[in-house]
Amino acid sequence: MKNPISSAPTIKSAEITITDDKTLEVTPRENHTLETVFSEFSSNNIQILSMRNKSNRLEELFMNLVRK
């Protein structure tokens, strides 16, 4: 986020928590895509400067396969 935030925005397509004053953790709700989330952010004048996965899903998949 460009400006510091004090409360998480509310949108229909995702659950949002504040990680720090410029970072949100976004978890899309069931049957919603990132496209839907970005569209809602845009509609609410929320500007996203960067994005990253919380975890590396390929690495997680590989580790699960190796454990088995």
Mean pLDDT of 1-15: 85
pLDDT for 63 equals 80
Over pLDDT 70: what percentage of the chain?
93
Tokens 């899309």 map to which residue? Answer: 28
pLDDT in tens, 33-55: 989 999 999 998 888 888 887 76
Mean pLDDT of 2-6: 79
Mean pLDDT of 62-68: 82
pLDDT for 49 equals 84
Amino acid identity, position 15: E
Structure-block tokens of residue 49: 């400067």
Nearest to 2 by CA among 45, 39, 31: 45
Phi, psi of 21 (to 5 degrees): -70, -5
pLDDT for 46 equals 85
